[in-house]
Amino acid sequence: MPTIIIDNREFEIPGGVKLNCIQAAKLAGVEIPHYCWHPGLSVVGSCRMCLVEVGSKDAKTGKIAMQPKLVPACNQTAVEGTVIVTNSEKVARTRAMVEEDLLLRHPIDCPICDKAGECSLQDYHFAHGQDQRRADLQPFTSRRRDIGDVSLFVDRCILCSRCVRFAKEISGTSELMVAGRGTHEEIDVVENHPLHNNLSGNVVDLCPVGALADKDFLYRQRVWFLRRHKGICTGCATGCSIWIEENQDRIHRLKPRENPHVNQWWMCNEGRYGYPHVHSDKRIVHPIRHQRAEGFNPSAECETNAAFSGNSSRGDKPLGSLSHEILDWTDLPTELNQVLRSSKHLGAILSPFLAVEEAYLLCKMLRGIDKNAMLALGPIPVVGEDEHFPKGFTVRAEKCPNRRGVENVLTHFTGKIVPYGNFLKSVEKGEIRGVWVAGGYKNDWIDEPTAKTFESVELLIVQDLFPSPLSERASFLLPVAAFVEIDGSYVNHADRLQTVPQAIRPPLGVRSAGSLLWEMSGRKGLYDAQAVLREAAHEILYFSAAAGGVPEAGIDLKSNLLAGMGKIEDSSKIQQA
């Protein structure tokens, strides 16, 4: 445990890790302003904002020797006896000078700059800058250049080169460069090679000023109107930790949340821009009961799809041979319980988009009604191949968040996983009379012929986000909440379980699967996802690590699994003996 001295106070910093002075000071609660340094990127020390006085204390004599010049804290490793002074007059003057220099030619267009409000330049200028500007108030606007996935406001740039280093080191694509020399330096791309890769969105987060702007978010909202909530990306099996930033229940952008075990500081564009389906007006927003008439021909009803979505008006509407009735949530749990109980031979399809709690509640409830209920894992969407990036960031081909979680819940209840195909065969044979399909897929997941298989089923309850060929055949079509609208836990490809709270409210008429199942299984009070997870953790060995709550960065279930397997072996030995 090396001891360092920051502003006349001694602190012990953790040993064994190499920390620079910025990080060490941060641990001690002292903020050293910086632009160009980023923990995930190499050090260049070009912005000079983190200049501090550095010295060292002689361990034997106790004498402190300071270096005559100011030193960039980002490039100075904190070791035993390092002395850092951040609050001296000299440092303050230097910071003010750096700020003035950066603002010399920085346009005064904060009112229209999307970064305003979360801009390091603004914040540091308020904290460390001069009160008065000595330079002309020119220019007022910034030149704008389209450099591919993001927009570049050339004059706002302070040339910290974070984006250049990111493109070189993290995405490995090296599209960006610093062009020109001296005062003519600008960030640019080579002609015909625009910034275009699956991680390009991160340069916007990296940019400490408003030079790089997200095209999706551009001019959409001022950042101070946004509220951020913890979330998990459901775009692929990586399960990146994200911030969900919303205003009045409308998501305006997703940003990566630092999680050293999953995504470090990054997320892919696919996940970053993968939220619009939440606000799609095609979503199912009412629970609907279908009355199937004789001579039912669903294919003729395909064009009435729109009627199921949010645009449909309330009330009974006979559509050909099919009539559908919009239901009220109040009586629905009781009614569903009744129809499930009256139907023998139940089965369920659980999509890998379900949260662990929802999957657990569904399995538990169906097994409670029919203890031989057939529980199967829904189709796993796989697109292309895993996309690896140099420093280890991977975009998975498996485009669902919780295959491992649902699999393990199913394994607990059924012993081994029933393949989707087997389930379909059983349905075809008529072995299953009542089917609960817990969907939640973002896009088409079932085709017309497969959906036709379910026509023989007496009771078909479909929970889904969007209408599908299956939804027209459902006896009950239930809307579900999207990933940002639920309390729940997901297990990623590496068996890391993360729990997040609800970020926004679902649209009117939508109720989360968790709360419906909570009520259907006769539990009292409001839906409590944490209680369900605790229950599952006590019951299912795989989740047992989550029994004591889940920290922000998630819990690795794998280590626990190994220990648990040992235990099982032990018990079998005892039995043999």
Partner 1 sequence: MNANDKRIRWVKEPALGMAGKSYLLLFVQGLATTLKHLVSRKKTVQSPEERHEIPDPIIYRGVHRLNRDEQGRVKCVACFLCATACPAHCIDIVAAESPWPDREKYPQSFTIDELRCIYCGLCEEACPVDAIELTSLYDLSGKSREEMIFDKQKLLSIYDQTKDAEPTRTERLKGEGGGGKAE
Kindly list the residues in this chain that would bind partner 1 in the complex (CB under 8 A): 109-112, 116, 137, 141-142, 144, 218-220, 222, 224-225
Measured between alpha carbons, how far apart are the two ends of the chain, in Å? Answer: 49
Angle at which helices 513-520 and 332-342 pack, to 10 degrees?
70
For residues 126 and 219, which CB has a smaller minimum distance to partner 1 in the complex? 219
Sheet containing strand 150-153, edge to edge, reads: 144-146, 150-153, 212-214
- For partner 1, give the closer residue by CB, 225 or 383: 225
> Which of 110/561 has CB closer to partner 1?
110
d(CA 510, CA 502): 14
Q: Cis bond leading into 551, ω under 30°?
A: no
CB 103, min distance to partner 1, A? 17
Q: Is 50 in contact with 73 (CB distance < 8 Å)?
A: yes
Beta strands in 34-171 (DSSP E): 51-57, 64-66, 71-72, 82-85, 144-146, 150-153
104 versus 218: smaller Cβ distance to partner 1:
218
Rounded to whole angstroms, the Cα distance separating 394 from 113 reads: 32
Least spacing, CB of residue 276 vs partner 1, in Å? 18
Q: How far is the CB of 145 from partner 1 (least distance, A)?
A: 13
Q: Is the CB of 276 or the CB of 384 nearer to partner 1?
A: 276
- Closest approach, Cβ 126 to partner 1, in A, equals 16
The structure tokens 């459902």 sit at 474
Q: Considering beta carbons, is residue 137 or 562 the nearer one to partner 1?
A: 137
Question: Are 154 and 139 contacting, i.e. CB atoms less than 8 angstroms apart?
Answer: no
Least spacing, CB of residue 111 vs partner 1, in Å: 3
3-state secondary structure 109-133: CHHHCCCCCCCHHHHHHHHHCCCCC
Q: Which is nearer to partner 1, 81 or 117 (CB)?
A: 117
CB of 135 to partner 1, least distance (A): 13
Using alpha carbons, list the distances in angstroms from residue 358 to 293, 494, 529, 552. Answer: 32, 20, 9, 20
> At closest approach, how far in Å is the CB of 133 from partner 1?
12
Q: In this complex, which beta carbon is closest to partner 1, that of residue 146 or of residue 444?
A: 146
Largest CA distance in the chain: 97
- Kindly tell me which of 223 and 319 has the beta carbon lying closer to partner 1: 223
- Looking at the Cβ atoms of 131 and 331, the one nearer to partner 1 is 131
Report in angstroms how near the CB of residue 333 gets to partner 1 at its nearest.
38
Closest approach of partner 1 to the CB of residue 15, in Å: 46
Contacts of 549 (CB under 8 A, 6+ apart): 530
Residues contacting residue 62 through CB under 8 Å, at least 6 positions apart: none
- Taking CB atoms within 8 Å and a gap of at least 24, the contacts of 416-424 are 417/376, 417/377, 418/374, 418/375, 418/376, 418/377, 419/376, 419/377, 420/349, 420/376, 420/377, 420/378, 420/379, 422/376, 423/347, 423/349, 423/374, 423/376, 424/450, 424/453
CB of 194 to partner 1, least distance (A): 19
Q: What is the dihedral of CA 435, 438, 444, 450, to 10 degrees?
A: -20
Q: How far is the CB of 127 from partner 1 (least distance, A)?
A: 21
Nearer to partner 1, 228 or 523 (CB): 228
Q: How far is the CB of 219 from partner 1 (least distance, A)?
A: 5
Task: For residue 409, give the nearest of 378, 388, 432 by alpha carbon.
Answer: 378
Picking from 143, 195, 168, 151, the residue whose alpha carbon sits closest to that of residue 44 is 168
Strands 9-12 and 496-500: unpaired
Q: Name, in order, each residue with C-beta under 8 angstroms of 291's C-beta and a sequence gap of 6 or more.
A: 322, 323, 324, 325
The residue (of 107 and 488) whose beta carbon lies closer to partner 1 is 107
